[in-house]
C-alpha cells in the first residue's frame, strides 16, 4: 500500500521544507518513488515544485520539497483557511497551471504527461502562484506513439473517457484534467455535490448546461462584473474527443488573449447519451463481459463524473 505522509522539516542551512514519506512496501511504490525523482530532476520551471533531495531508509522513502505555507489549492478552495482567492488570483492560478503543463508537454526535455492534475496536487506559494506537484504517475510523451497503460491510475472525476475505457494515455488527459480544475476554481465547489439540486450535482454536466442556455455567469462564484473566458476554455478542454481538446500552448494563448477563444460547439456525448438520474446514488455491480459492455460504459462514465469523498 502506498502511504503519503507530509511532514515539515528544516535543513541545516535553515530552509523550511516539506518531507513526503512514501511506503516502499510494494513494487508499485518503488516505481512511483523513482518516477517522481526522475521527472522532477529532468524538468525545471517556475510553476514546478522544487525537489531538494531524497532519502531511502529501510522501508521508508522520503522526498524533500520546498515548503509552501499556503498548502494546496484544494485546501484553499474547501478547507478552513483565511485565503481569499479573488477573481484576479483565480485567473493567475489557472494561467500558471496552464503554462506549466504547456512547458511539460512541448518544451521540456523529455516531454512529460503528468497524469494526475487535480486541486490537491497544486500547491500555492506565498504569492498564491501555483506549483504543480506529485509526479509519481507521470509518463514520458512520444509524439509518434500513444502510451497504453495496463491499468487505470489517477483520480476519479479527472479521468478522460479514452483513458478510462481504452487505457490510451497522452498529454490530452492532462488537458481534460485542467479543464475540470479550472471549473472548480471558477465555482469554488467539488466535482459533485449531492446536497445540491439535481441539475447541479455534477459540476461538469452543470457547466455545459449553463453554457448551452447562455447562462455562463451562473457558474462563476462570486459573479464578476464582466464574464471572463476561463469557463469557455475549460469547456474546450473537456471535450470527449482528445482531438477536439486544444493543446496547452493554445490554451495559454487563449487565456492571455493572444488568440481568440475557439468556439465551443456542443455538450460532449458522454453527457448526452446517458441518463444520470440515480435515486440511490450508488452504482450496480455489473459483470464486465461482452454482453454487458454498454453497462460498463455507463458505469465508467458515472464514475468519471463522481467526486471522490475528499474532493
Residues with catalytic roles: 116
The three cell numbers of residue 65 are: 520539497
Query: Would strands 60-66 and 139-140 be described as parallel, antiparallel, or unpaired?
Result: unpaired
Helix segments in 103-171, DSSP class H: 161-166
- Determine the Cα–Cα distance for residues 165 and 176; give it in Å rounded to an integer: 15
Cα dist from 188 to 84, 94, 120, 183, whole Å: 11, 13, 14, 8
- Determine the Cα–Cα distance for residues 104 and 161; give it in Å rounded to an integer: 22
298 with 276: CB under 8 angstroms?
Answer: no
Please return the burial class of 182, using the count of CB atoms within 10 Å of its CB with bins 0-12, 13-18 and 19+.
buried
Cα dist from 125 to 67, 131, 178, 248, whole Å: 8, 7, 19, 23
Amino acid at each position: 500500500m502506498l502511504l503519503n505522509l507530509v511532514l515539515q522539516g528544516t535543513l541545516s542551512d535553515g530552509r523550511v521544507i516539506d518531507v513526503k514519506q512514501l511506503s516502499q512496501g510494494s513494487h508499485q511504490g518503488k516505481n512511483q518513488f523513482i518516477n517522481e525523482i526522475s521527472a522532477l530532476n529532468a524538468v525545471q520551471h517556475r510553476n514546478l515544485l522544487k525537489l531538494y533531495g531524497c532519502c531511502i531508509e529501510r522501508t521508508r522513502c522520503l522526498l524533500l520539497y520546498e515548503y509552501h505555507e499556503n498548502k494546496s489549492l484544494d485546501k484553499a478552495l474547501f478547507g478552513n483557511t483565511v485565503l481569499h482567492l479573488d477573481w484576479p488570483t483565480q485567473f493567475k492560478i489557472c494561467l500558471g497551471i496552464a503554462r506549466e503543463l504547456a512547458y511539460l508537454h512541448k518544451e521540456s526535455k523529455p516531454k512529460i504527461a503528468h497524469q494526475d492534475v487535480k486541486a490537491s496536487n497544486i500547491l500555492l506559494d506565498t504569492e498564491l502562484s501555483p506549483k504543480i506537484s506529485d509526479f509519481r504517475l507521470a509518463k514520458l510523451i512520444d509524439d509518434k506513439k500513444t502510451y497504453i497503460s495496463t491499468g487505470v491510475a489517477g483520480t476519479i472525476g479527472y479521468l478522460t473517457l479514452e483513458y478510462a475505457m481504452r487505457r490510451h494515455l497522452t498529454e490530452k488527459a492532462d488537458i481534460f484534467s485542467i479543464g475540470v480544475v479550472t471549473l472548480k476554481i471558477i465555482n469554488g465547489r467539488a466535482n459533485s455535490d449531492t446536497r445540491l439540486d439535481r441539475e447541479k450535482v455534477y459540476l461538469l454536466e452543470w457547466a455545459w448546461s449553463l453554457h448551452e442556455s447562455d447562462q455562463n455567469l451562473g457558474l462563476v462564484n462570486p459573479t464578476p462584473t464582466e464574464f471572463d473566458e476561463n469557463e469557455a476554455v475549460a469547456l474546450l478542454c473537456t471535450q470527449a474527443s482528445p482531438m477536439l481538446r486544444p493543446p496547452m500552448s493554445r490554451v495559454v494563448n487563449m487565456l492571455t488573449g493572444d488568440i481568440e477563444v475557439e468556439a465551443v460547439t456542443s455538450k460532449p456525448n458522454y453527457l448526452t447519451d446517458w441518463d444520470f438520474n440515480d435515486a440511490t446514488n450508488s452504482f450496480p455491480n455489473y459483470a464486465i463481459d461482452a454482453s454487458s459492455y454498454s453497462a460498463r460504459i455507463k458505469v465508467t462514465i458515472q464514475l468519471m463524473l463522481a467526486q471522490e469523498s475528499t474532493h
